[in-house]
């Protein structure tokens, strides 16, 4: 589920948007390359050698870019049942631990990605004629973005700014229904009464 961070740094917002568009563009180009390969193989009976490795490389790029965007926009799947059973203070700590784990995972992506790039930098991909290091570059770039976006979330939490706690005050039994329309979810969260009860939900 996407939760907008209104307090986010404008620069990271632009980086996030750029990564999202590049991932989408890569997906479209990869689809075109695979379609061209199928056409050449079964219609022209002459399949080009560069389409398959090129499509795989593009897939790596849009997967890791998309994964980083998912970190910032909170689109990744998660088991959040425990969150609804904990008090607000415990929820914040649990979310902080989650962000720290993601941050550490991003560091691991960069660390091992750089090692793989160095290991394959002097090799050449026969079909594409480029360095084999480009095959692992998406791991490094995606890792850097994951680090930046996770660090942003951590800093916002330390400063006491809301990050993704929109659903915290909604009863678990209502979450499944409310998730059908994120606008209703935000309206319900904004209409919380001071005593913790929900205001009358907005209905279309």
What pLDDT, in 10s, does the model give residues 140-165?
999 999 999 999 888 888 887 766 65
Residue 173 lies in a domain: no
What would the pLDDT profile of 17-31 be if each residue is shown by its tens digit? Answer: 999 999 999 999 999
- SS3 of 61, please? helix
Half-sphere exposure for 69 (CA within 13 Å, toward CB) = 19
Residue 133 in any domain: the answer is yes
* 189 pLDDT above the threshold of 70: no
Is 166:189 a contact under the CB 8 Å cutoff? yes
Question: Residues 20, 25, 29, CA angle at the centre, nearest 5°?
Answer: 150
Q: For the ranges 32-36, 64-68, 80-84, 89-93, which has the lowest average pLDDT? A: 80-84
Q: Which two tokens stand for residue 160?
A: 């006491």
Domain membership flag for residue 202:
no
Supply the pLDDT for residue 183. Answer: 60
Domains in the chain, number: 1
Whether 2 is in a domain gets the answer no
- pLDDT for position 95: 83
Q: For residues 100 and 71, give the distance between their C-alpha atoms in angstroms, rounded to a whole number.
A: 12
Burial 17-32 (b: 16+ CB within 10 A, else e): eebbebbeebbeebee
What is the Cα–Cα distance from 175 to 181, expressed in whole angstroms?
10
Residue 176 domain-assigned (yes or no): no
Is residue 201's pLDDT more than 60? Answer: no
Is the pLDDT higher at 114 or at 89? 114
Residue 174: inside a domain: no
116 CB burial (10 A radius; 0-12, 13-18, 19+) = middle
Residue 79 in domain: yes
**54 inside domain:** yes
Q: Identify the helix (H) or strand (E) that includes residue 130.
A: strand 130-131
Residue 200 has pLDDT above 50, yes or no: no
Q: φ and ψ at 8, to 5 degrees?
A: -70, 155
- pLDDT for residue 103 is more than 90: yes
- Please report the pLDDT score of residue 193 as a whole number: 44
157 Cβ contact partners less than 8 Å away, ≥ 6 residues apart: 92, 95, 96, 99, 163
Residue position matching structure tokens 């692992």? 136
CA distances from 83 to 9, 165, 167, 175, 194 (A): 27, 10, 10, 12, 21
Residue 44 has a pLDDT of 85
Give this prediction's pTM.
Answer: 0.71
Q: How far from each other are the two terminal CA atoms of the chain, in whole angstroms?
A: 21
- Average pLDDT of the segment spanning 156-176: 61
Residue 40 belongs to domain spanning: 10-165
Residue 139 has pLDDT above 70, yes or no: yes
Percentage of the residues of the chain whose pLDDT score is greater than 90 = 34
- Phi, psi angle pair for 131, to nearest 5°: -60, 140
């Amino acid at each position: 589920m996407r939760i907008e961070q209104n307090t986010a740094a404008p620069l990271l917002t632009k980086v996030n948007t750029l990564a999202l568009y590049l991932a989408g563009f890569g997906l479209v180009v990869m689809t075109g390359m695979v379609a061209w390969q199928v056409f050449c193989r079964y219609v022209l009976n002459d399949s080009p050698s560069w389409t398959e490795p090129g499509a795989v490389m593009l897939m790596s790029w849009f997967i890791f870019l998309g994964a980083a965007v998912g970190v910032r926009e909170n689109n990744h799947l998660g088991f959040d049942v425990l969150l609804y059973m904990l008090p607000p203070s415990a929820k914040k700590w649990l979310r902080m631990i989650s962000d720290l784990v993601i941050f550490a995972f991003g560091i691991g992506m960069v660390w091992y990605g750089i090692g793989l790039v160095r290991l394959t930098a002097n090799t050449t991909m026969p079909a594409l004629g480029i360095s084999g290091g480009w095959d692992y570059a998406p791991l490094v770039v995606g890792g850097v973005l994951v680090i930046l976006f996770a660090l942003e979330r951590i800093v916002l939490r330390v400063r006491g700014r809301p990050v993704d706690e929109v659903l915290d005050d909604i009863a678990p039994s209502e979450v499944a229904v409310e998730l059908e329309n994120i606008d209703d979810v935000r309206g319900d969260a904004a209409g919380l009464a001071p005593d913790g009860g929900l205001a009358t939900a907005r209905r279309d």
